[in-house]
């Protein structure tokens, strides 16, 4: 058998995986109850089963109907964007808003097509000042501004 | 007339200086994100939700609503000048609006878009004021069975209107419903799908999901694309349409407004469907149909009036039934819940000031848009020239700050990037994230109502068909599914969406 639609093939597998996971996890850990008094496992089991079933249908469709290829994944922007968010999140408390924001902007900007040091530096300065004024001073979000050891 | 005394009350609320200011901020922000291509209202509203925590419920909702219909306005500017839809609902405006701009008639195209939108905004505000109260009255009589069936209908409608494969859209809804169940089960107190992570005890925040699936995935998607845009910035003069233009645009505007208002009310409807339907209709009935696609002013007036009307009437199901008809409305529900308001038919009676204030603010907001946008057009055009490489780090930073501030915890940002990854994969596999968000917000509600309905009927699932209103919803949902599954229509539907993209 030949896969005619790559997109449907992978989407089908994804839905089956999600569906099965919810069914198995719910069956292992939560009570089903009865139709009258549904336990915490009832709704997720039914939905998970339905999702897996739909996944199978999508998968079958992948062998029947012609479809486009999956477009190439661009890992560079994806990785840089995710990394910039994570760096910001986990370094905000120890390093403070100024440094964490700068890190986010620089790492994020590396994910784009062109990176100009001067431009990004100016952008960082403007955004950091704006964030400190609006979020910390204006909206009084409880963020540290500078690193712990400096305060 | 009760409607007028109610509207009067609404205007008293909406015209208080602070609320006017909130409305102004909302429509300005909305226009801004509408103008900037690649920045959608879902991500922006999600981004701004944390800011509204400190506001009163009415001020928060006025601002958020302003962002939504402001974005419809702004989106048309980008569509006309750059041939890029700033907003998905202005996709069809590109067809004729951009052609008008190329012929040196960008000014009249922009003015037509603004005036048609304003007219539609006025009419649909009245539609909301007239239709919402009786609908809420009916909805007050709904029991759990009716609510469950209504949600099924709403989700089915959302699926039908999604692009691409029907099966995949249904699967996305169910995935959303399942993700919505993460957290403590209200009935049994059991912690579900939390995997020992204490942050998941209250469930996954929908702001986190929305920002990941829309915001992060959008940015990564945009970064893949390279391509120069051609901006018609110098040619915007002679804003006012000619006499000939006026003659041609009033009828399409009227038709667009009414079609848009009707389509906006439908669950799953809203601005996108409205603008598309209006354009198709106009192409059929217009005497100038041969000019469509070559710069016909009707092709701007009809979809622009329709998308604004649709954007506004899509508030009706939200305000009366507590059921969102699209992803933005799902966010509005979230905003209401954060403010401690349970969305539903009781809002109108329990909080008339909130209900009518919001409706009146829509008219105020529309007026502001027309007054602001035509003179400010030069400023918006300047913004168009801001390169995306400067734009996206800013958006990224505001999203990260917003999500972090939800509970002052890095875990939410981590979750956001995971959903960003999921959203990116879904887009690549042509699985739309919008139905998933609807499912996500409705998941717990659906389970709750299903449980109650089954308890009341002693476990008999026939209860959903025996109650007339509930049966009506189920039948409507089944008919919708059958219609869409018919091969002939399936082909038609894919054609429709191909033309759109």
Query: What confidence tens digit (pLDDT) does each residue in B96-118 have?
Result: 888 888 787 888 888 888 888 88
Question: Which residue, among B52, B74, B427, B55, has the nearest Cα to B207 in the 3D structure?
Answer: B52
Q: Which residue has the tokens 């006309």?
A: B80
Q: Which of B393, B417, B428 sits opposite A82 (nearest CB)?
A: B417
Average pLDDT over residues B417-437: 87
Average pLDDT over residues A103-111: 87
Q: Do B165 and A77 touch (CB under 8 A)?
A: no
Distance CA A140, CA A134 (A): 8
Residue B481 at interface with chain A, using a CB cutoff of 8 Å:
no
- Model confidence band, residue B330 (pLDDT cutoffs 50, 70, 90): confident
* Same domain for A55 and A10: yes
* Same domain for A132 and A84: yes
Report the percent of chain B where pLDDT is more than 90: 5
Residues near B487 by beta carbon (within 8 Å), at least 6 away in sequence? none
| Cβ contact B115:B415 at 8 Å | no
Comparing A151 with A5, the larger pLDDT belongs to: A5
Residue B443 distance to chain A (closest CA, Å): 10
Q: Rounded to the nearest 5°, which phi and psi values hold at B225?
A: -85, 135
Residue B379 distance to chain A (closest CA, Å): 20
- The pLDDT mean for chain B works out to 81
Residues of A in contact with B214 (CB under 8 A): none
**Cα angle A42-A46-A52, degrees, rounded to a multiple of 5:** 145
Instruction: Report yes or no on A1 lying in a domain.
Output: no
- Among the ranges given (A109-118, A122-131, B32-41), the one the predictor scored with the smallest mean pLDDT: B32-41
- Model confidence band, residue B178 (pLDDT cutoffs 50, 70, 90): very high
Comparing B490 with A2, the larger pLDDT belongs to: A2
Q: What is the per-residue pLDDT for A47?
A: 92
Work out whether the CA dihedral B183, B188, B189, B191 comes out positive or negative.
Answer: negative
Q: Which of B226, B421, B455 sits opposite A113 (nearest CB)?
A: B226
Instruction: Report yes or no on A115 lying in a domain.
Output: yes
For B112-142, write each residue's pLDDT tens digit. Answer: 888 888 899 889 888 888 888 888 888 878 8
Which of A64, A83, A108 is where one domain is finished? A64
- Model confidence band, residue B1 (pLDDT cutoffs 50, 70, 90): low
Residue B82 has pLDDT above 60, yes or no: yes
Q: Rounded to the nearest 5°, which phi and psi values hold at B279?
A: -65, -45
Residues of B in contact with A25 (CB under 8 A): 193
Distance CA B325, CA B166 (A): 18
Q: What is the per-residue pLDDT for B498?
A: 46
Q: What is the per-residue pLDDT for A54?
A: 92
| Cβ contact B435:B159 at 8 Å | yes
For B261-301, write each residue's pLDDT tens digit. Answer: 888 877 666 667 777 778 888 877 777 777 777 778 888 88
Q: What is the per-residue pLDDT for B488?
A: 52
- Joined tokens for residue B99: 């052609």
Residue B416 at interface with chain A, using a CB cutoff of 8 Å:
yes
Instruction: Report yes or no on A24 lying in a domain.
Output: yes
Boundaries of domain holding A50: 6-64
Residues near B78 by beta carbon (within 8 Å), at least 6 away in sequence? B34, B35, B36, B37, B84, B85, B86, B87, B90, B384
* Same domain for A26 and A49: yes
Question: Which residue, among B457, B100, B132, B236, has the nearest Cα to A36 in the 3D structure?
Answer: B457
Beta partners for B183? B192
- Model confidence band, residue B499 (pLDDT cutoffs 50, 70, 90): very low
Instruction: Report yes or no on A103 lying in a domain.
Output: yes
* Same domain for A52 and A86: no
- Model confidence band, residue B501 (pLDDT cutoffs 50, 70, 90): very low
Q: Do B220 and A81 touch (CB under 8 A)?
A: yes
| Cβ contact B58:B20 at 8 Å | no
Q: What is the per-residue pLDDT for A52?
A: 94
Distances (CA, A) of B244 to A88, B93, B241, B247: 56, 20, 8, 5
Residue B421 has pLDDT above 80, yes or no: yes
Which of A64, A89, A111 is where one domain is finished? A64
Q: What is the per-residue pLDDT for B233?
A: 56
- Model confidence band, residue B500 (pLDDT cutoffs 50, 70, 90): very low
For B369-397, write each residue's pLDDT tens digit. Answer: 888 777 777 777 777 777 778 888 888 88
Residue B312 has pLDDT above 90, yes or no: no
Q: What is the per-residue pLDDT for B489?
A: 56
Beta partners for A38? A33
* Same domain for A41 and A83: no
Residues near B425 by beta carbon (within 8 Å), at least 6 away in sequence? A14
* Same domain for A144 and A85: yes
Q: What is the per-residue pLDDT for A19?
A: 93
Q: Which of A14, A34, A40 sits opposite B185 (nearest CB)?
A: A40
Element (H, E) at B192: strand B191-192
Element (H, E) at B99: helix B99-102
Distance CA B184, CA B161 (A): 32
In B, residues 445-464, which contact A (CB 8 Å cutoff)? Answer: 447, 450-451, 454-455, 458-459, 461
Average pLDDT over residues A49-56: 93
Instruction: Report yes or no on A124 lying in a domain.
Output: yes
Residues of A in contact with B414 (CB under 8 A): 85-86, 89
Question: Which residue, among B432, B399, B343, B339, has the nearest Cα to B208 in the 3D structure?
Answer: B399
Instruction: Report yes or no on A113 lying in a domain.
Output: yes
- Model confidence band, residue A151 (pLDDT cutoffs 50, 70, 90): low
For A15-49, write each residue's pLDDT tens digit. Answer: 999 999 999 988 888 888 877 788 888 889 999 99
Residue B113 distance to chain A (closest CA, Å): 33
For B202-254, write each residue's pLDDT tens digit. Answer: 778 877 888 888 888 878 887 877 655 555 555 566 677 777 777 788 888 88
CB-hemisphere CA count at 13 Å for B438? 32
| Cβ contact A135:B401 at 8 Å | yes
Residue A133 distance to chain B (closest CA, Å): 13
Q: What is the per-residue pLDDT for A13?
A: 92
Instruction: Report yes or no on A48 lying in a domain.
Output: yes
Phi-psi domain of B193 (left: phi exceeds 0; alpha: psi -120 through 50; beta: other): left
Q: Do A74 and B224 touch (CB under 8 A)?
A: yes
* Same domain for A93 and A143: yes
**Number of domain units in chain A:** 2
For B440-453, write each residue's pLDDT tens digit. Answer: 888 888 888 888 88
- Model confidence band, residue B24 (pLDDT cutoffs 50, 70, 90): very high
Instruction: Report yes or no on A109 lying in a domain.
Output: yes
Average pLDDT over residues B59-79: 84
- Model confidence band, residue B161 (pLDDT cutoffs 50, 70, 90): low
Which of A16, A34, A64 is where one domain is finished? A64
Work out whether the CA dihedral B399, B402, B406, B407 comes out positive or negative.
Answer: positive
Beta partners for B192? B183
Exposed/middle/buried for residue A83 (C-beta within 10 Å: 0-12, 13-18, 19+): middle
């Amino acid at each position: 058998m030949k896969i005619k639609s790559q997109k449907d093939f992978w989407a089908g597998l994804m839905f089956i995986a999600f569906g099965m996971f919810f069914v198995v996890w719910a069956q292992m850990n939560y009570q089903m109850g009865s139709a009258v008094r549904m336990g915490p496992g009832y709704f997720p089991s039914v939905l998970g089963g339905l999702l897996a079933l739909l996944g199978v249908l999508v998968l079958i469709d992948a062998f029947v109907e012609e479809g486009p290829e999956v477009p190439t994944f661009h890992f560079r922007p994806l990785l840089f964007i995710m990394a910039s968010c994570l760096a910001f999140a986990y370094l905000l408390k120890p390093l403070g808003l100024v440094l964490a924001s700068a890190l986010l902007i620089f790492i994020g900007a590396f994910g784009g097509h062109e990176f100009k040091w001067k431009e990004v530096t100016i952008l960082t300065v403007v955004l950091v000042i704006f964030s400190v004024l609006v979020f910390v001073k204006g909206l009084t979000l409880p963020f540290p501004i500078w690193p712990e050891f400096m305060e | 007339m009760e409607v007028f005394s109610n509207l009067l009350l609404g205007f008293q609320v909406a015209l208080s200086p602070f609320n006017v200011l909130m409305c102004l901020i909302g429509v300005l922000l909305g226009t801004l994100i509408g103008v900037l291509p690649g920045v959608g209202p879902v991500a922006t509203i999600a981004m701004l939700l944390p800011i509204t925590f400190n506001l009163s419920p009415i001020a928060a909702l006025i601002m958020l609503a302003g962002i939504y219909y402001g974005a419809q306005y702004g989106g048309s500017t980008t569509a006309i000048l750059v041939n890029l839809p700033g907003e998905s609902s202005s996709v069809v405006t590109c067809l004729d609006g951009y052609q008008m701009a190329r012929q040196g008639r960008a000014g009249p195209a922009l003015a037509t878009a603004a005036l048609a939108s304003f007219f539609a905004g006025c009419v649909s505000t009245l539609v909301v004021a007239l239709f919402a109260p009786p609908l809420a009255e009916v909805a007050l009589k709904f029991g759990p069975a009716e609510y469950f069936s209504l949600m099924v209908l709403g989700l089915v409608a959302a699926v039908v209107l999604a692009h691409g494969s029907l099966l995949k859209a249904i699967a996305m809804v169910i995935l959303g419903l399942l993700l919505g169940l993460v957290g403590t089960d209200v009935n049994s107190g059991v912690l579900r799908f939390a995997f020992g992570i204490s942050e998941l005890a209250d469930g996954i925040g929908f702001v986190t999901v929305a920002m990941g699936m829309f915001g992060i995935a959008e940015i990564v998607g945009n970064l893949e694309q390279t391509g120069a845009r051609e901006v018609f910035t110098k040619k915007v003069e002679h804003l006012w349409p000619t006499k000939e233009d006026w003659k041609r645009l009033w009828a399409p505007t009227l038709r667009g407004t009414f079609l848009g208002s009707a389509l906006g009310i439908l669950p799953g409807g809203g601005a996108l469907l409205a603008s598309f339907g209006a354009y198709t209709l106009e192409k059929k009935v217009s005497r100038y149909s041969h000019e469509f696609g070559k710069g016909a002013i009707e092709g701007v007036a009809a979809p622009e009036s329709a998308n604004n009307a649709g954007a506004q009437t899509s508030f009706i199901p939200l305000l009366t039934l507590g059921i969102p008809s699209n992803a933005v409305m799902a966010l509005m529900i979230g905003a209401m819940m954060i403010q401690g308001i349970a969305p539903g038919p009781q809002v109108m009676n329990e909080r008339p000031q909130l209900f009518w204030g919001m409706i009146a603010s829509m008219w105020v907001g529309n007026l502001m848009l027309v007054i602001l946008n035509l003179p400010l057009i030069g400023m918006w055009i300047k913004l168009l020239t801001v390169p995306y490489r400067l734009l996206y780090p800013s958006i990224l930073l505001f999203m990260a700050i917003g999500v972090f501030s939800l509970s002052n915890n890095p875990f939410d940002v981590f979750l956001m990037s995971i959903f960003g990854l999921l959203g990116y994969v879904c887009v690549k596999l042509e699985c739309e994230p919008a139905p998933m968000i609807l499912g996500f917000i409705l998941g717990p509600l659906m389970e709750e109502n299903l449980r109650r309905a089954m308890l009341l009927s002693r476990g008999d699932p026939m209860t959903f068909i025996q109650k007339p209103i509930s049966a009506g919803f189920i039948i409507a949902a089944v008919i919708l599914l059958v219609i869409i599954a018919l091969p002939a229509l399936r082909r038609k539907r894919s054609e429709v969406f191909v033309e759109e993209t």
